[in-house]
């Protein structure tokens, strides 16, 4: 047993050497690229970055050791003690190959960062997809490839020498410990490697949480390029599933017709070279808002569906303090999310475009994330000298939302790490009350007008609440009980719904009771609905409410809250409320305008209007037509001219969204703070 402890200790020592090499790379990276980055006051975050970086490196090293550990356990359990000498001899070459490959990747990553201010990402595929020969010639002219090759060979030789020196064993026939000890070791060792690979005991693995600072460069110091390369491979794999929606919707080689159909214009009115300019609209001249420059707050609430709200009562209080604001202000109930995934709602409100049905290619996890788009939602606010900030309740490394926000034109992206330390949090970030504290604090920092885009996270399974929250009455009505199969989960869910609504209500009350009451517009909706009970009508499952708080001095006309709309209509509505004589580009419509009476709500592969519904599976070329039945259910209908009009709008919107994403905007890498 003593001999085996010595051998295991040698392996641990060798891997510590590898970890030291990786930490040394991180230090060199930090010292070289920190030039020009203001790190004042970030001393604690820099220390955290190196600690987090060690965890990332340990995860990589554990991954390298996993196959070797499996072979070791097999030999260990079957008692092949005379095979260990050969095993360690092979292990030297194994470590040399993989750690040497890591060194090559670190070298590539270091130089990649010089060009793109980011670790290896999906743009690395440009080496293959662009003019590869020209790129090689560029490298040849700018770098001494001979010295680089010598350096890489030297690295392999040094790694092999270190591995051979440390893993040297003299006895070819080692005595084995007792069987029960071997069994215990064979169970414990894989568990330790598994935890090291995950990097944490918490809900999500370390790869999901790379941000530890509000400073972008510090976060990039922490991350290991193996993780960013892994993401790039995943994103590229998704791109292979990218769909030509222009062709699928029937507008191949005729995208101008899509714009004409969507806008109801003659094709001659659509610009030949830049048809997207046909989408440009302008807000009215309004001296009141020009002088006031009201703050605008858009809040996407996690799983904030409409259906459960209709059951609200004193005994089943799911609205909490939000109810009084629903009563005082404006709520649109014929409003839908465009999809069922959070990132789809973020994309719609970042980019003013509709969802492309069945697309598994999320923009924030593709090469399109690096595009600077003319139709980005914050552009009109930036042009009016607003400070634009995205605030997420968890870590902005989730689906690259932080980088996506910055590339979409936001000035900043804040997250859970920007909240005061020791704020209670659940599996998906800080609890909503502390997120709203951050929002109010951000609003109050100076007198500059702000556009704040918020995404909450508390109302997400597994459902947990702060220990000091006192749950309000939640006696389930009989009408709801009959629809629930898992009562325990439902009770937890409803308590969380109540909490998030209560905290939202308190935040709105805080705004209304502050100096911001008369100069702040608030819009609230759900990223999607999420229900723990059976909802019969699809439209009711699709619905998320849209709440609007408009200061009384700005309520200049009657508002029809019965109009239909979806996420793509939020930003045009806010532009026309808050901005004077400002151009914008969007597929959506101002819900407060007269044209909104004829608007429709977009959801997955459905389009709902006040009288008609169409469903189109553009991949199987099947279309269904409906009219409204009882309780917002559908009744099958013959195709009518109104259905055909809806279908044309549905298909043209999708084609335009695909065109805008793939054919406009300037691509570049993200930048440092």
**pLDDT tens-digit series, residues 267-323:** 999 999 999 999 999 999 999 999 999 999 999 999 999 999 999 999 999 999 999
Both structure tokens of 548: 């609007």
Q: Is the pLDDT of residue 595 over 90?
A: yes
> What percent of the chain stands above pLDDT 90?
55
Distance CA(270)–CA(65), nearest Å, equals 60
How is residue 446 written in tokens?
A: 């100076």
- Residue pair 546/348 in contact by the 8 Å Cβ criterion: no
Q: What pLDDT is attached to residue 215?
A: 76
pLDDT band at 670 (very low <50, low <70, confident <90, very high): very low
End-to-end CA distance of the chain: 53
**Phi, psi of 609, rounded to the nearest 5 degrees:** -120, 180
Burial track 64-96 (b if 16+ CB lie within 10 A, e otherwise): bbeebbeebbebbeeeebebbeebbeebbebbb
Q: DSSP assignment of 292-358, as one string?
A: H--EEEEEEETT--SGGGGG--SSB-SSTTHHHHHHHSEEE-SEE-SSSSHHHHHHHHHH-----TT
What pLDDT, on a 0 to 100 scale, did the predictor assign at position 669? 44
pLDDT in the model for residue 92:
86
Residue 8: what pLDDT? 76
Q: Is pLDDT at 202 greater than 70 in this prediction?
A: no
What average pLDDT does this structure show over 163-185? Answer: 73
Would you say residue 1 has pLDDT above 60?
A: no
- How far apart CA 396 and CA 415 sit, in angstroms, is 6
Q: Tokens at residue 249, please?
A: 């919707």
Q: Find, among 222, 229, 237, 164, the residue nearest to 14 by Cα.
A: 164
Residue 539 pLDDT > 50: yes
Instruction: Return the top range by mean pLDDT from 26-30, 226-230, 440-444.
Output: 440-444
Give the tens place of pLDDT for each residue, 466-525: 999 999 999 999 989 888 877 888 899 999 999 999 999 999 999 999 999 999 999 999
What pLDDT is stored for residue 366 in this prediction? 83
User: 238: which residues sit within 8 A by CB, 6+ positions away?
Assistant: 360, 361, 362, 365, 366
Beta bridge partners of 332: 546
pLDDT(450) > 70: yes
Quick one: pLDDT at residue 439? 97
Strands 634-636 and 622-628: antiparallel
Q: What is the mean pLDDT of residues 440-449?
A: 95
Q: Where are the strands (E) in 480-556, listed by range?
A: 520-526, 546-549
> What distances in angstroms separate CA 184 from CA 37, 67, 177, 188, 232, one per listed residue?
50, 19, 11, 6, 38
Q: What is the pTM for the complete model shown?
A: 0.76
- For residue range 53-97, what is the model confidence (pLDDT) as tens digits? 999 999 999 999 899 888 878 877 776 666 667 777 888 899 999
Give the mean pLDDT of the chain.
Answer: 87
Q: How confident is the model at residue 443 (pLDDT cuts 50, 70, 90)?
A: very high
* Residues 6 or more apart whose Cβ sits within 8 Å of residue 63: 197
> 128 pLDDT exceeds 70?
no
| 315, two tokens | 């005994």
Residue found by looking up tokens 């905290």 in the block: 503
- If pLDDT is split at 50, 70 and 90, which confidence band does 37 have? confident
CATH level 2 (architecture), domain 293-609: 3-Layer(aba) Sandwich (3.40)
Question: What confidence category does residue 118 fall into, taking pLDDT thresholds of 50, 70 and 90?
Answer: confident
Q: Which pLDDT band, with edges at 50, 70 and 90, does 240 fall under? A: low
Domain boundaries, the chain: 2-239, 293-609
Kindly list the distances between the CA atom of residue 516 and the CA atoms of 266, 323, 453, 522, 547, in Å, as whole numbers in the listed order.
45, 21, 17, 11, 18
Which helix (H) or strand (E) element contains residue 602?
Answer: strand 601-603
| Mean pLDDT across 255-267 | 96
Residue 451, strand partner residues = 296, 388
For the ranges 145-149, 194-198, 480-484, 519-523, the lowest mean pLDDT is seen at 145-149
Binned at pLDDT 50, 70 and 90, residue 140 comes out as low
Least reliable range by pLDDT among 385-399, 558-572, 614-628: 614-628
């Amino acid at each position: 047993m003593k001999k085996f402890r010595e051998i295991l200790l040698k392996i641990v020592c060798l891997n510590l050497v590898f970890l030291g090499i990786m930490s040394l790379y991180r230090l060199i990276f930090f010292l070289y690229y920190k030039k020009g980055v203001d790190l004042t006051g970030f001393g604690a975050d820099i220390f955290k970055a190196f600690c987090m970086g060690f965890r990332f490196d340990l995860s990589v090293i554990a991954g390298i050791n996993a196959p070797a550990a499996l072979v070791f356990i097999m030999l260990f359990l079957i008692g092949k003690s005379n095979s260990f000498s050969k095993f360690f001899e092979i292990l030297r070459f194994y470590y040399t190959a993989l750690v040497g490959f890591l060194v090559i990747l670190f070298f590539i990553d270091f130089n990649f960062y010089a060009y793109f201010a980011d670790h290896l990402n999906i743009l690395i595929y440009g080496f293959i997809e662009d003019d590869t020969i020209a790129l090689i010639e560029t490298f040849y002219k700018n770098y001494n490839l001979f010295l680089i090759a010598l350096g890489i060979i030297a690295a392999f030789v040094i790694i092999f020498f270190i591995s051979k020196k440390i893993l040297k064993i003299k006895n070819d026939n080692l005595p084995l410990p007792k069987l029960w000890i071997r069994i215990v070791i064979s169970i414990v060792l894989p568990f330790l490697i598994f935890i090291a690979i995950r990097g944490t005991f918490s809900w999500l693995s370390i790869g999901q949480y790379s941000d530890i600072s509000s400073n972008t460069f510090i976060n990039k110091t922490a991350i290991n390029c193996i993780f960013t390369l892994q993401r790039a491979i995943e994103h590229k794999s998704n791109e292979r599933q990218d769909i030509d929606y222009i062709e699928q919707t029937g507008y191949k080689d005729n995208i101008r017709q899509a714009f004409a159909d969507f806008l109801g214009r003659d094709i001659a009115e659509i610009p030949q070279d830049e048809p997207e300019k046909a989408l440009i609209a302008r807000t009215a001249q309004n001296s009141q808002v020009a002088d006031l420059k009201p703050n605008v707050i858009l809040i996407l609430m996690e799983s904030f569906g409409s259906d459960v709200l209709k059951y609200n009562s004193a005994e089943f209080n799911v609205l909490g303090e939000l109810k009084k604001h629903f009563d005082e202000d404006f709520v649109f109930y014929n409003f839908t999310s465009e999809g069922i995934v959070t990132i789809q709602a973020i994309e719609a409100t970042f980019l003013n475009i509709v969802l492309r049905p069945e697309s598994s290619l999320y923009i924030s996890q593709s090469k399109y994330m690096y595009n600077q788009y003319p139709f980005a939602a914050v552009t009109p606010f930036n042009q009016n000298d607003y400070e634009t900030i995205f605030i997420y309740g968890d870590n902005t490394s989730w689906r690259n939302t932080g980088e996506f926000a910055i590339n979409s034109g936001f000035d900043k992206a804040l997250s859970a790490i920007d909240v005061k330390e020791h704020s209670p949090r659940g599996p998906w970030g800080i609890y909503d009350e502390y997120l709203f504290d951050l929002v109010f604090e951000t609003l109050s920092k100076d007198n500059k007008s702000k556009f704040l885009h918020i995404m909450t996270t508390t109302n997400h399974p597994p459902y947990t609440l702060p220990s000091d929250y006192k749950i309000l009455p939640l006696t389930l009505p009989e009408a709801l009980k009959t629809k629930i199969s898992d009562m325990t989960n439902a009770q937890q869910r409803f308590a969380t719904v109540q909490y998030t609504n209560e905290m939202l209500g308190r935040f709105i009350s805080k705004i209304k009771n502050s100096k911001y009451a008369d100069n702040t517009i608030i819009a609230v909706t759900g990223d999607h609905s999420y229900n723990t009970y059976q909802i019969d009508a699809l439209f009711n499952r699709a619905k998320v409410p849209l709440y609007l708080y408009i200061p009384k001095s700005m309520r200049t006309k009657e508002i029809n809250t019965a109009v239909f709309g979806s996420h793509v209509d939020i930003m045009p509505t806010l532009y026309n409320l808050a901005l004077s004589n400002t151009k914008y580009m969007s597929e959506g419509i101002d819900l407060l305008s007269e044209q909104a009476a004829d608007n429709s709500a977009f959801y997955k592969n459905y389009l709902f209007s006040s009288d008609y519904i169409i469903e189109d599976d553009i991949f199987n070329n099947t279309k269904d037509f409906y009219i409204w039945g009882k309780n917002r259910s559908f009744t099958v209908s013959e195709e009518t001219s109104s259905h055909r009009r809806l279908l044309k709008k549905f298909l043209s919107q999708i084609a335009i969204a695909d065109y805008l994403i793939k054919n406009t905007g300037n691509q570049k890498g993200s930048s440092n703070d």
